[in-house]
Structure formats: structure tokens, C-alpha cells
Structure 1
Amino acid sequence: MTITMKRVLIDSLTLLSATLLTAGCSLAPAYKVPTVANSTAFKEAPAKTAGTGSEMGNWKIAQPSDQIPRGQWWVIFDDAALNDFEEQALSANQNLVAAAARVKEARALLRASRSDLFPTIGAGFGPTREKVSPTAVFKPDGVDIPAETLWRAQASASYEADLFGRVSDAVKASRAESEESEALLRSVQLSLQADVAANYFKVRELDAELQVYTQTVSLREQALKLVQSKFSEGDIAELDVARAAAELETARSDMLTVQRQRAIAEHTLAVLLGKAPSDFSMPSSPLRPVQIRIPPGLPSMLLERRPDIAAAERAMAADNARIGVAKAAYFPLLSITGDAGFESATLGDLFKWSSRAFLLGPLAGTALTVPIFDEGRRAGNLANARAQFDEDVAKYREQVLQAFQEVEDNLSDLRILEQQTQTQNEAVQASSRAAHISRTQYTEGAVNYLDVIDTERTVLQSQLTAIQLSGVQAAATVNLIRALGGGWGDAATVGAAGANSPKRGLPS
């Protein structure tokens, strides 16, 4: 073995050893989920539902568990129509289909990124017509080298050694982005389920209002007949007839307004179900009061359950890996390529054993590229990667704070609504009693018709307010489930009547 060959062998082994030592050595900062503002319990959580055992009674560090199936949480409302609509939405909603497609896109990009960890192999076949200079074949200047045709059948391979973790960090970033897209899919799914339930209860609330208006119009029609009869007998002036007619038409107009609102709500629900509004209709069914208490658990559990928080955390992990990719640009890049196959001047001689040829080394493109000057490109890319990470850290912390706020808002809504609906129901009973008395007294001539109008307006407004509060209570219950991240394992819901009410667990 000549001295030159020994030197080439030693250099090759040295380069290979350096490659193996640095391969996969990541330059990305050690990733750690940033700390966020937290508390040991929700301020608005009722004492009875703040915890359901020793585990829920103590603060614990949140562990990512957004991938846990949330189940059919809407079945706690015990409404067959709602159950059917939820299933339809999950199979046909176009926003959900788009989110699922984005997951496929992210997974495809991950597969493409992972391919950089392995060599790329290809093959080729065909003729090449070429004319080389005398220098290329070590001939004196001026010698005419004739053009010739070369046939080649060769396989080629190329590979970028994962020096300083550039390739592996890029794969880590793609994997985190894929997981982010999956978490966003679950977030879209949860939002869809909650929107379907909220719009469903809105339609039912408007059905209840229409029922009240139908009864009101019927009573106003009876009142108009009574007033017209008294006017015909000369007991009252025509002014009372005009007032009674005006009240009747006002009630009819208000009923048409509610009908218009119901039609819009029904169209919105149809789109959520992936249907054309013209192909969808709901039979009238007034809203039943929703008397369900949702156990909020601990704030740390919220961080585990919310898919949007999980997506924000995965975005930070991807940015952290991108910092490693940007740092690796400051260090050498080793690309190894080679060709092997057959080469001859004629097609008939192409596959002879003597026609075999290969190229491996600098002539075939093996190169250890060392960056020297790029006018701040690498520094800018690194600064950008770090800034993106800082931005997503801020977004993550803000997302957590918003999640806590959403839970507190809905807990306070339900706490106050429970008292408000009870008070409003008492107001409905009192106003109905007052209206009955005023109508009786008007029939007997003890009061004028203005008193009757005032009491009936109060009854109508009290009834509408009670229905609207029931609708708000149903929506707040749905929104609380949404804010908590959906249904969960064996946590129990407590009936609004008290601790002795039957308990129904949210399905896992």
C-alpha cells in the first residue's frame, strides 16, 4: 500500500469517526414547558363540586393528556335529538373535515422530514454525447480529442450526515408540528360539539318563547272579544277597544320576530351538521330546564385536558427544535454521494464486467462544507427562531390564562343563574296572579283597561325572561364543558336540586 493511499485511508477514517461522534448531537436548548400562573382551586367552584376525592383535593403538576378520548359528553342532557345531531355533525361538518385534512398534511410533512435521516438512492440509464479538453485526459494543449458517445447504467446514492443534529432537530420540529395539528383537530371537534349543543338549545329556547307568544296571542284575542262586547253594551269607551287591538297586534308582531330568529338559528344548526338549510328542519319542542352541575376539578387538570393548550405547547416544542436547526447552520455540513454501474462507448458492451465503473469521493460530490461568510443570514435565522419561540411562549401563557377565565366565567354564570332563575320563576308566579286579579277586577268594572294591559305585559316579560335565563343556563353548561376540555372519565355531575339528586357520570 502506497503512502498516498494510507494517507487517504487515515483521513477517511478520521472523518468517519468525527461524523459518528457528532451525528445526532442536538444544538437545540433543553426543552421545558414554561411555568404559568396557577392556583390550587377555581375561585367560582362550588364547595360541593370543587373536588371528588383526595386526588382532586390537592394540587398536582399537570401532565399532557389531551389525547384521552373525551367521549359523548352531550348524553348527560338526556336528549335523543341532540345525540343524533352530534353524531351527524361529527360525520359531515366541513370544518372538521378540513381540520382532519390538515392533520394528514402535517403527517405527510413529517414523513418527508424523516426521509432526510436515510440515504437517497436512484438509478439512471442513457447515452451521453461529450467532448472533453486535452487537459482532462492529460494531453498536450492543442491536441484534438474527438467527441464520443458514452452509455451509462448507474445507481447513485447521496446522504447528509446528521452533524450537530440539524436533520434530527428538523424531524423533532416536524413531529411536534404534527402533534400540534392533531391537538388542533381535537380542539375543532370539541368546539363543533359545543356549538351544535348551544345552537340546539337556542332553537329550543326560541320554541319555548313561541309557545308563550302563542298563549299570549290567544289571551289577547279573548281580551279583545271581551272589550268589544263591553263596548257594544255601552259599558266602556272605544279607547279600550283600540288599546286591546293594539296589544294583540303587538304580540303577533313580536311572535313573528321570534319566528325569524328561530329560522336563522335552525339554518345555523343545519350548516354545523353539514347540511343545506333547505334540507333541514326541526320540529317544535320547547326547552326543558337544564339542571346539571359540572365538577370543574383542579386548574392543573384543565392544563391536561384542553386540546388548544396542548396545541400551543406543541408549537413551543417545534420552535425549540428549530433553534437547534438554526444553530447547526454555523457548523460544517457533510454530504456523501457516490455512483456505481456500467459505462461503455456502445450499448452492446454496456453490461460487460469490464465496463463497470464507480465514483466515490470528492469527484462524486463528497464535501464537508464549512460556512465562512453569509452577511448575517445565519444570525438572522437564529434570531428569528428564538423570537418565534418567545412569541409562542407568550401565546401559551395567554392561552392558559384565557382557559382559566373561561372556566371561572361559566362557573360564576351557573352559580348566579341558579339563584336568578329561581327568583324569576317566583316573579312569573306573582305577575300571573296579578294579571288574573286585574282581569277579574276589570270584568267587574273595578279597574280600567290600562291596569290590565300593564299586568299582562309584566306577565309576558317575566315569562320571556325566565325562558331566556333557562337558555343562558343551558348555554353556560355547554360552555363550561367546552372550557374544561370536554367529557371526562368517572367524574360525576350533580343534579341542581342538591347532593341527594341522582348522579350521572360523564362518559369517557
Structure 2
Amino acid sequence: MKTLNIKRWLGLSALLGSLLVVAGCSLAPTYARPDVKEPAAFKETSQTVLAASEQGTWKTAQPSEQVMRGEWWTVFNDDTLNDLERQAADANQNLKAAAARVSESRAINQTARAGLFPTLDAGFGPTRERLSPASQFLPQNTNVPSQTLWRAQASASYEVDLFGRVSDSVKAANADTAQSEALFRSVQLALQADVAQNYFNLRELDAENDVFARTVALREQSLKLVQHRFAEGDISELDVARSRSELASARSDAMTVQRMRAASEHSLAVLLGKSASQFTMAANPLTPVDIKIPPGLPSSLLERRPDISAAERAMAAANSRIGVAKSAFFPSLNITGSGGFESATLGDLFNWSSRTFLLGPFAGTALNLPIFDGGRRKGNLANARAIYEEDVANYRQQVLVAFQEVEDNLSDLRILETQTQTQAEAVNASNRAAQLSRTQYTEGAINYLDVIDAERTVLQSQRTAVQLAGVQATSTVNLIRALGGGWGDMPVASAEPAVAASDASNASVASR
């Protein structure tokens, strides 16, 4: 009998030892970031000739999203924009919500990590109970008196990390936390870019409003001239009516720009976390943004995009959850224990003879081996693998979109550089044509319709020049955003008013 007991304990010890050996062994697949087809260089690199100091070099992708980006908007050298960015960082509600989501993820992570440690509980108090005669192996009609039991007990439980179920859950929670932090940085970067874009859009509308203000002034002077000639009998009333129509149209178009500016101002207020009725921004016409960002950028800047980092962390979390799903096919081991005192009276509760205890691991079916569940575990594993494959596809798609956005903005800036120069020539030419047409009309060489056409062309060319300046500013912001931020050390080029070239011509026309 003694030999049998020894063999039994040896068997149990061997089983327990073998279970402890596999404790912490993960069943999750070995995680590796999926390959993506990286281009050797941006396509736009071949379209632009840069100095050697401006050219970047590509390297094998290494995650560096956590690198601090700095206040990249200071590259525009605009104190007003700097102040707006600070206000948005302090009060934007979407950013506060994203920060709260990070706190939520960290709290869930803490909950998951708690599985690595045992749980301890303590209790104290009386219970009133009456046991049945059957439970005491007494005849059915036996009177079992009720009794009060006082208990002071402590209990402990611990799940052994067999087959990595707990550790893989912690790894998944860590990846989820990293993903939420990356998404926070994505919201933060989007907010910074949106503030800059709304600011430049507002200034573009101020520049358009300035163009209309000068146009209305010129149309008013033109109306006075036409009215004077009509009073002298040199022209018919038809020219007066046409002049009034052009003045009214210019004023109406100016009001349209004013409506757009008001809406843009309200949008900016919301980004700053303010009520639209409490925010007003003084008019300040846009000046061209001429910041040279080299297209041959190192790939590390592209890797710093927080949305790509979030997609990569989602893959890591899904990979770990495959291990959690696999571990459900294997035994789980819970070690439990409790000890304390139990007595019928409070005075005898802490007597040594009142002590009680219960120890595992094999008490109360601590070792559980799954046998049949109707395919639930198989379905959970298939679901975990499908989620991982989905996250892999989302990651690769995000990388493709990132390269597209960089290429889009690089090509925009390259073409806009030439387009703005061409449009400046158009502004000068249209102003000259308007000046000549007005002179010829005064001399009676042409009719007033020619003057109207020339002035309309001037207005349209000036508005286009202003709008191109706005597109150039927002494209610069978009490129910085596509690169994941940064660029705080880029030099600021000198800027000239968007329609400065036309001011002298306008002045000469107005003086006539």
C-alpha cells in the first residue's frame, strides 16, 4: 500500500512537472511584419532636380513612428498659426476623446496583465445555516438545529500559464495599447494639419475678398466715368445699365466669398474647441507659401506615419490572439487555496483548533481538459486567423495609400510651382488688356462690351492666382501630413502677396 501511494504521488508530481514545463510556451505563430513592395524612390524624384544636400535616400523599412515630430507647423513662420495650433492642442474635443481612448486601452491592458499574478481575497463575517438531515446521513425526520458560523478566511487562486494563453493575451493587449497610442497620434497629426489647412483657406478667402474689394472700387469708378459720358451725351444709357450690372455682380460675388469665409471661420473655431459665436479672426490676405521639400525623402519619414504604425500593431495583436485561440484546445490549470478560521461563536473564532484550509491544484477540478464543444474552439481559431489576414491586407493597403498621398502632393507642388508663375503672367497680361480697352473706350475706338470682357478677365485671373496660392499652401501641409509630420527644420522662403503683380496695373487703371 505504501509503495502504491508513493507511485501515485510520483505520477502526480511528474504530471505537474510536465505541465509546468509547458507553462508560458506560446502557441501563437512567429510574428513577422509582412513584406510590402517598396519603390526604390519616389516617381516624382525624376521630375525634379535637387542639390545633393536636398536629396534623401531610401532604406529598408524600420518602424520609427514613435519618434517625436516636433512643432512642424513652425516651418511656415506664422505666429498666428502657431497660436492656433496651441489652442487646438489644448481644447480640441476629438483629441480629448482620442486621449480618453488611450486611457481605456491602458486600463484594459492592466486588466490583462493581472492574469500573470495570483488573486488574493479575504473575508470575515457570520453565516446562518440549517443543514438537511440527508447531508448529515441522518434519518429524514431528524431535527437538525440551525447554527451560526463565524468565518475569517483568506483565499488565493492562480491560473498557470499553460500553452501561453495568459502571456499571449497580455501580448495582444500590449499591441492594442500601442495601436491606440498610434491612433491618438494620427488624430493629433490630422488635427494639426486640419488647423493649418483651415487657416490657409481662411487667408485665401481674405485674399479673394481683397481682390473683390479692389474690383468693386474700380467698377464704381468706371460707373462714374460712364455716367459722366452719358450726361455729356457721348454714349447711350445702355452702357450705364451694363456698368451698373457689372458693379452689382462684383458686389454679389464678393458677398459669396464673405459667406464662405464665415463658414471657414466657424469650422476653424470648432477645431480650436470653441463656440463659433465666440471666435473671430481678423482678415489677413494670403501670401504664397514657397517651402522647398525635397522629393527624395528617406523612407524613415514615411514609416513615421501613425496610421501605418496602428495597422502594424493591429496585426501583432491579431497574431497573439491566434495563440490564445489555439491554447483553448489544451488543458488549463487553476491552482486554488483558502485558509482561515471557522467557529460557532465569535469568541472561539481565532482559536487554533478552529483553523480550516483547502489546497489545490487538484481540488475542485482545477485541471480542465476540453473534450467536446460542438466546434466552438475550432470556429474561434478560424475567426482569429481570418482577422489576422484582414489586418495584413489593411496594413498593405495603408502603405500603398501612404505612397500615393506622398506622390500626389509632390506632383501637386511640382506642377503648382510652374502654374503659379504662368498665372502671374496671365494676371499681368489681363491687367494690361483692361488698361488698353479702357483707354480705347474713352477715345471711342471700342464699345463698352469690350471693356466689360477685359475687366471680367482681370477678375477671374486674379481670383485664380489667389486660389492657386491657397492650393499650394494646403498641398504643402498635405505633404507634411503624408510624411507623418516633422519638417520643423525646413527653411522658410520669402513670400510675396499673391496678386502683388497686378497692384500697379490696377492703380494705373483706377487713375484714369
- Structure 1 length normalisation: TM-score? 0.93
Q: Residue 339 of structure 1 contacts residue 360 of structure 1 at CA under 8 Å; is this kept in 2?
A: yes
Distance 2:73 2:261 in 1: 22
Take 1:267 and 1:49, find their aligned partners in 2: how far apart are those partners?
A: 40
Q: In the TM superposition, what are the counterparts of 1:369-388 in structure 2 within 5 Å?
A: 369-388=368-387
User: What is the correspondence of 1:71-470 to structure 2 with a 5 Å cutoff?
Assistant: 71-132=70-131, 145-298=144-297, 300-361=299-360, 364-365=363-364, 367-470=366-469
Quote the sequence identity (%): 67
Distance 1:379 1:354 in 2: 51
Q: Deviations over 1:248-272 (max 9, x none)?
A: 0000000000000000000000100
1:165-191 deviation digits (Å, cap 9, x = unpaired): 001000000000000000000000000
* Counterpart residue identity of residue 315, structure 1: A
For 2:43, the aligned partner's letter is: K
Amino acid at match of 2:318: D
Contact 1:201 1:287 in 2 (8 A): yes
Any idea what SS the aligned residue of 2:125 has?
strand
Show the counterpart of 1:61: 60
**Secondary structure of 1:44 counterpart:** helix
Counterpart amino acid of residue 369 in structure 1:
N
Within 2, Cα distance between the matches of 1:104 and 1:161? 28
Cα distance in 1 between the residues matched to 2:191 and 2:287: 22
Q: CA deviation at 1:16?
A: 3.1
User: Aligned AA for 1:32?
Assistant: A
Relative to structure 2, which stretch is displaced further, 100-109 or 364-373? 364-373
AA matched with 2:31: Y
Cα contact 2:74–2:82 (8 A) shared by 1: yes
1:153 touches 1:342 (CA, 8 Å); kept in 2?
yes
Output the TM-score relative to the length of structure 2.
Answer: 0.92
Instruction: Show CA shifts across 1:208-254 (max 9, x none).
Output: 00101000000000000000000001000110000000000000000
Runs (5+) with no aligned partner, structure 1: 498-508
Whether contact under 8 Å (2:64, 2:300) holds in the other structure is no
Give the corresponding residue for 2:30: 30
Q: 1:68 to 1:275 in 2, by over 3 A?
A: same
Q: Residue 145 of structure 1: CA displacement?
A: 4.7
Shift of residue 195, structure 1, vs aligned partner: 0.3
Is contact 1:339–1:364 with CA below 8 Å preserved after alignment?
no
Deviates more, 1:4-13 or 1:33-42: 4-13
Q: Mark the runs of 5 or more structure 2 residues left unpaired by the alignment.
A: 496-512
CA contact (8 A) 1:331 1:371 kept: yes
Cα distance change on mapping 1:493 and 1:397 into 2, 3 Å: farther
> 1:338 Cα deviation (Å)?
1.0
Shift of residue 303 of structure 1? 4.3
Contact 2:334–2:361 (8 Å) recurs in 1: no
Following superposition, the deviation at residue 336 of structure 1 comes to 1.2
8 Å contact kept, 1:303–1:309: no
- What number of residue pairs does the alignment pair up? 494
8 Å CA contact retained: 1:209, 1:464:
yes
Q: In 2, distance between residues paired with 1:156 and 1:325? A: 27
Kindly indicate whether the alpha-carbon contact (under 8 Å) linking 1:131 and 1:146 is maintained by their aligned counterparts in 2: yes
- 1:39 matched to 2:39? The reply is yes
In 2, are the aligned partners of 1:40 and 1:299 still within 8 Å (CA)? Answer: no
Contact 1:333 / 1:370 at 8 angstroms: preserved in 2?
Answer: yes
Q: 1:493 and 1:301, CA in 2 relative to 1: closer, same or farther beyond 3 A?
A: farther
Aligned AA for 1:18? S
Equivalent position amino acid for 1:314 in 2: R
Deviation of 1:110 after TM superposition, in Å, equals 0.3
- Distance 1:310-1:348 versus aligned 2 partners, 3 A rule: same
Structure 2 equivalent of residue 501 of structure 1: none
Question: How far is 1:295 from its partner?
Answer: 2.6
Q: How far does residue 141 in structure 1 lie from its aligned partner after superposition?
A: 8.1
Q: 1:272 to 1:489 in 2, by over 3 A?
A: closer
- Conserved? CA contact 2:182–2:306, under 8 Å: yes
Structure 1 residues 37-74: Cα deviation after superposition (integer angstroms, max 9, x where no partner): 210111013544597489x33x3211111111111111
Q: Distance in 2 between matches of 1:424 and 1:35?
A: 44
Question: Residue 294 of structure 1 contacts residue 493 of structure 1 at CA under 8 Å; is this kept in 2?
Answer: no
CA contact (8 A) 1:303 1:400 kept: no
- Contact (CA 8 Å) 2:302, 2:482: kept in 1 or not? no
Following TM superposition, by how much is the alpha carbon of 1:152 offset from its aligned partner in structure 2, in angstroms? 1.0
